[in-house]
Amino acid sequence: MPMDPFEIQPMDEPLSADDATLVPDGGEAVADGGFLRNMLRVFAENRLAVVSLGFLIFIVLFCFVGPHVYVTNQTNAQEALLNSTQNQGPTASHWLGTDENGFDILGRLMFGGQISLIVGFAAALVATIVGVIYGALSGFFGGWFDAMLMRFVDIGLSIPVLFLLIALVTIYRPTASLLIVVIAAVSWLVPARLIRAETLTLRTREYVQAVRVMGGTRKRIIGRHIVPNSVGTIVVFATFDVADSILLLAALGFLGLGVPAPQTDWGTMLSNGVNYASNGYWWQIYPVGLCIVLVVVALNYIGDALRDALEVRLQRR
Partner 1 sequence: MIGYLIRRVGQAVIVILGVTLIVFILSQLIPGGQARAALGPKATQIQIHHFNVLNGFNEPLWVQYWHYLLGLFQGNLGYSYRNNQGVTSLILNRLPKTIVLVGVSTLLALFIAIPLGMGQAVRRNQFFDYSMTAVSFFLYAMPAFLIGELLILFFSFNLGWFPSQPPSDASAWAVFTNPRAFVLPVFSLAALTIAAFSRYMRSSVLDTLTEDYVRTAKAKGASPRRVLYGHALRNALIPILTLIGLTLPAIVGGALITEDVFNYPGMGLLTVQSAVNDDIPLVLGTTLVATVATVIGSLIADLLYAAADPRIRLGGDD
Interacting residue ranges for partner 1, rule: CB under 8 A: 151-152, 154-164, 166-173, 247, 250-251, 254-257, 267, 270, 274, 277-278, 285, 289, 292-293, 296-297, 300
81-84 long-range contacts, CB within 8 A, separation 24+: none
Contact 206, 225 (CB under 8 A): no
Q: Which is nearer to partner 1, 118 or 270 (CB)?
A: 270
Supply the minimum distance, in Å, between the C-beta of residue 194 and partner 1.
15
Q: Which is nearer to partner 1, 164 or 312 (CB)?
A: 164
Please tell me the chain's helix, strand, coil percentages from 3-state DSSP, rounded to the nearest 5. 70, 0, 30
Q: Which is nearer to partner 1, 159 or 231 (CB)?
A: 159
What is the rounded distance in angstroms from the CA atom of residue 50 to the CA atom of residue 43? 7
Task: Say whether 104 sits in a helix, a strand or coil.
Answer: strand
Q: Which is nearer to partner 1, 216 or 289 (CB)?
A: 289
Supply the minimum distance, in Å, between the C-beta of residue 150 and partner 1.
12
Supply the minimum distance, in Å, between the C-beta of residue 166 and partner 1.
5
Supply the minimum distance, in Å, between the C-beta of residue 246 and partner 1.
9
What is the rounded distance in angstroms from the CA atom of residue 90 to the CA atom of residue 234? 43
Q: What is the dihedral of CA 131, 64, 39, 239, to 10 degrees?
A: 30
How far, CA to CA in Å, does 112 sit from each of 140, 163, 172? 42, 24, 21
What is the rounded distance in angstroms from the CA atom of residue 138 to the CA atom of residue 136? 5
Supply the minimum distance, in Å, between the C-beta of residue 291 and partner 1.
11
Q: Which is nearer to partner 1, 22 or 167 (CB)?
A: 167
Supply the minimum distance, in Å, between the C-beta of residue 219 and partner 1.
37
Task: Say whether 70 sits in a helix, a strand or coil.
Answer: coil
Q: Which is nearer to partner 1, 129 or 297 (CB)?
A: 297
